[in-house]
Chain A
């Protein structure tokens, strides 16, 4: 259990949110030209890092907005929160 600072509503408890997996995965421009392996790579393969990971979250029981989160998966420390469409922090 941890507290997430929703960029719209402020600090809320984690149980109000739903995790949406890894962020910044770019959809291939021409899916029809991909091989099955490349398509599977895009569709299923996730980094699942132990350490700092970029994730998407949604405030499901609050404002219902999606946003991005930088989280250390080993200890659940949240490094940064930023809105959809914004550039990820470089540090």
Chain B
């Protein structure tokens, strides 16, 4: 991870809601359409990419989220080494995917900020600032959505009952986090 001035410094806690940034986590955007692309990813990572809309898949080390019919984000479940921006998974995918023209691999580890949220009030918070209908989403483990929260683009991954990972672009993260804190204080 690059040496950024960290914008989200504290873990925040409210009744029924805890929020903190998890870092450093490797995040990759991969794009491709061919069938060989899907099978090459599956073979090299031991992880099947979800092809059904708004779903995710998970292996021991990685999670893959569906973003669009030809776009996925892969992130590491565990925290990666803070001293380097060189990831084994990325190198492997570069070799197996982008170097032979099957698809594209982009490192977005520093572009996205991962905010982990826990508690039973997560969706009450989302409802105050998102047009998305979370009724089915909240009970579906592994569900993914790209939507708007407080007019900011976010990717939301339903990890488990009452645990959600939220991705937001770094330049928006400080504003979104302060908005979420403000909103959470009034739930």
Contacts and interface: CB of A to CB of B under 8 A. Distances in A.
Contacts of B68: 8, 62-65
B147 A63 contact: no
Contacts of B147: 12, 16, 61-62
B131 A63 contact: no
A63 B69 contact: yes
A79 B26 CA distance: 43
B127 to A, nearest CB: 13
B146 interface: yes
A34 B53 CA distance: 44
Interface in A4-50: 8-13, 15-16
27 contacts: A8-B69, A9-B54, A9-B145, A9-B146, A10-B54, A11-B133, A12-B131, A12-B132, A12-B147, A13-B131, A13-B132, A15-B131, A16-B131, A16-B147, A16-B148, A61-B147, A61-B148, A61-B153, A62-B68, A62-B145, A62-B146, A62-B147, A63-B67, A63-B68, A63-B71, A64-B68, A64-B71
Contacts of B131: 12-13, 15-16
A83 to B, nearest CB: 10
A13 B147 CA distance: 10
Interface string B35-72: 00000000000000000011000000000000111010
- Of the four ranges (under 10, 10 to 19, 20 to 34, 35 or more), the interface on chain B belongs to 10 to 19
Interface of A: 8-13, 15-16, 61-65
Given A9-B54, A15-B131, A16-B131, A61 B146 contact: yes
A88 to B, nearest CB: 21
Contacts of A61: 146-148, 153
Contact of A8 (B53, B148, B153): B53
Nearest to B153: A61
A86 B139 CA distance: 35
A12 B134 CA distance: 11
A64 B71 CA distance: 10
A63 B146 contact: yes
Nearest to A60: B153
A32 B40 CA distance: 46
Nearest to A14: B131
A12 B133 CA distance: 8
A12 B2 CA distance: 36
B148 to A, nearest CB: 5
A9 B66 CA distance: 10
Which 3 pairs show the lowest CB-CB distances between chains A and B? Answer: A63-B68, A13-B131, A62-B146
